[in-house]
């Protein structure tokens, strides 16, 4: 160990991340203390790493963090996640940011400050590449002054910010590729809750727990779009057809528009969502390169609607993974004869099992001549009546008989 270069020791200490572990390890010898001072590039203060953190007063934590940070000279990644701390004083937080700003590449911070510290202002015009903020406020963004020339990833969770400031912040990040918005408190200047975001560099956006009248995203390079637990009257994506992954999870939206250029779309994953199949299909119908289609727990706006497998097989010839779970009612949607030639993984699920489900599985197996894996997912209640047990037993028997015809197919059951 004594022959290890001090730079390598610095890398070893950085891999430990947790501040307590790093401090203990750096006490090994003089050489390790030198590595701690001059070559440590990653440091994390997380309330889950050490139980003692929970017992310390905020003022004591501030001193501990300050003393630790000020013993380093080359920090590139600083993470401060203290879930039990209500707030820190502004002075030490500003001191941490000013001390590390010349070398810092990543900042993860989730503690409120009193009074509020404009972290955007303190970190701008530097080499920051990743910024993750939670439980803070962002105000008065000036893109002409507060520039982030190197920022590639921005995450805002439970952050108070106006729609205008958020868009200005994106303008100040010319290289931004990843944006995460989780339950932001978005202030509006008008009575209508309308948010417009513009970014020519953005490739990946994740939006969770957002309620708006209208959300307009203009992003020419967007590849991944994920909406979760959102309530929107309208969502509109304006781009140049670069979208590859579309995920919608438990979203209420009256009008959904992802543009006409969907040729590059490869993955569509929709769950807990009410859809009008003709309208939804029309939105993705030009996606001839689609490889994965997942419609899970979807509810059709018209009770007579089903997923039309004939149009799926014809319009999505490269489809390899198909996942379906919805109320079958009296129609399975197995009309037509076109096979799903390239489907190798088939995932089927139910919320209320019936004899119709077995027929549906059998019909789908016939349409997938090259299937390699079948996954059956179901919900089994804790208390079941005798009749429900009989239906489940009958279904199990029918599947056993059915799969004797498809010995090449791997079968997997997942119950919850």
pLDDT at 342 over 50: yes
For residue range 249-302, list pLDDT tens digits in order. 999 998 999 988 899 999 999 998 887 777 888 888 889 999 999 988 887 776
Give the number of other CB atoms < 10 A from CB of residue 281: 15
Which residues sit opposite 106 in a β-bridge? 77, 130
Categorize the per-residue pLDDT at 303 as very low, low, confident or very high, splitting at 50, 70 and 90.
low
| Cα separation, 387 vs 337, whole angstroms | 35
DSSP result, 110-153: --EEESPP-HHHHHTTS---EEEEES-B-----TTTS--TT--E
Mean pLDDT, the chain, integer? 89
Is-contact 281 306, C-beta < 8 A? Answer: no
Categorize the per-residue pLDDT at 330 as very low, low, confident or very high, splitting at 50, 70 and 90.
very low
pLDDT at 332 over 60: no
Q: What average pLDDT does range 401-406 have in this prediction?
A: 89
Pairing of the two strands 178-182 and 204-208? parallel
| Cα separation, 205 vs 246, whole angstroms | 10
Q: Which of 46, 22, 53 is nearest to 36 (CA)?
A: 22
**Can you give the pLDDT at residue 125?**
86
User: Which tokens is 90 given?
Assistant: 């502004």
For residue range 181-227, list pLDDT tens digits in order. 999 999 887 777 899 999 999 999 999 999 999 999 999 999 999 99
The answer to pTM > 0.75 is yes
Q: What average pLDDT does range 367-391 have in this prediction?
A: 83
Return the residue matching tokens 């791997």: 410
**Can you give the pLDDT at residue 283?**
87
For residue range 125-179, list pLDDT tens digits in order. 889 999 999 999 999 899 888 899 999 999 999 999 999 999 999 999 999 999 9
Is-contact 144 126, C-beta < 8 A? Answer: no
Share of the chain above pLDDT 70, in %: 95
| Cα separation, 44 vs 16, whole angstroms | 9
Whole-Å CA distances, 298 to 1, 270, 280, 306: 58, 7, 12, 10
Which residues sit opposite 179 in a β-bridge? 154, 205
Which residues sit opposite 373 in a β-bridge? 345, 410
The CA R_g of the chain, rounded to the nearest whole Å, is: 27
pLDDT at 24 over 80: yes
Q: What average pLDDT does range 114-119 have in this prediction?
A: 90
Categorize the per-residue pLDDT at 346 as very low, low, confident or very high, splitting at 50, 70 and 90.
very high
**Can you give the pLDDT at residue 329?**
57
**Choice among 95-104, 146-155, 325-334 with the minimum mean pLDDT:** 325-334
User: Which tokens is 28 given?
Assistant: 């090994």
């Amino acid at each position: 160990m004594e022959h290890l270069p001090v730079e390598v020791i610095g890398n070893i200490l950085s891999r430990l991340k947790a501040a307590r572990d790093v401090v203990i390890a750096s006490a090994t010898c003089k050489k390790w203390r030198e590595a701690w001072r001059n070559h440590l590039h990653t440091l994390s203060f997380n309330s889950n790493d050490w139980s003692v953190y929970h017992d310390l007063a905020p003022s004591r934590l501030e001193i501990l963090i300050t003393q630790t940070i000020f013993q380093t000279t080359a920090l590139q990644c600083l993470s401060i996640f203290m879930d039990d701390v209500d707030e820190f004083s502004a002075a030490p937080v500003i001191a941490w940011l000013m001390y590390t700003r010349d070398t810092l590449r990543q900042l993860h911070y989730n503690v409120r400050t009193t009074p509020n510290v404009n972290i955007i202002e303190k970190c701008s015009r530097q080499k920051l590449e990743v910024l993750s903020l939670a439980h803070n406020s962002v105000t008065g963004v000036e893109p002409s002054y507060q520039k982030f020339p190197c920022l590639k990833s921005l995450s805002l969770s439970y952050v108070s910010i106006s729609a205008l400031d958020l868009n200005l912040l994106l303008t100040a990040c010319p290289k931004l590729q990843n944006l995460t918005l989780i339950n932001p408190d978005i202030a509006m200047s008008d009575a209508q809750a309308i948010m417009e975001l513009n970014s020519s560099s953005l490739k990946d956006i994740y939006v969770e727990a957002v309620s708006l009248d209208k959300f307009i995203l203009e992003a020419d390079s967007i590849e991944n779009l994920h909406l979760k637990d959102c309530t929107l009257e309208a969502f509109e994506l304006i781009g140049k057809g670069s979208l590859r992954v579309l995920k919608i999870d438990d979203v209420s939206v009256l009008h959904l528009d992802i543009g006409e250029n969907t040729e590059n779309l490869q993955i569509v994953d929709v769950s807990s969502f009410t859809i009008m199949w003709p309208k939804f299909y029309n939105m993705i119908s030009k996606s001839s390169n689609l490889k994965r289609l997942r419609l899970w727990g979807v509810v059709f706006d018209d009770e007579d609607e089903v997923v039309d497998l004939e149009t799926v097989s014809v319009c999505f010839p490269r489809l390899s993974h198909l996942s379906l779970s919805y109320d079958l009612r009296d129609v399975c949607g197995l009309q037509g004869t076109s096979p799903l030639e390239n489907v190798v993984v088939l995932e089927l699920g139910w919320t209320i099992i019936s004899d119709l489900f077995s027929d549906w599985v059998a019909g789908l197996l016939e349409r997938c001549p090259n299937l390699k894996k079948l996954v059956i997912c179901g919900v089994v209640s804790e208390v079941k009546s005798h009749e429900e047990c009989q239906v489940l037993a009958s279904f199990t028997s029918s599947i056993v008989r059915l799969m004797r015809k498809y010995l090449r197919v791997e079968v997997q059951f997942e119950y919850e």
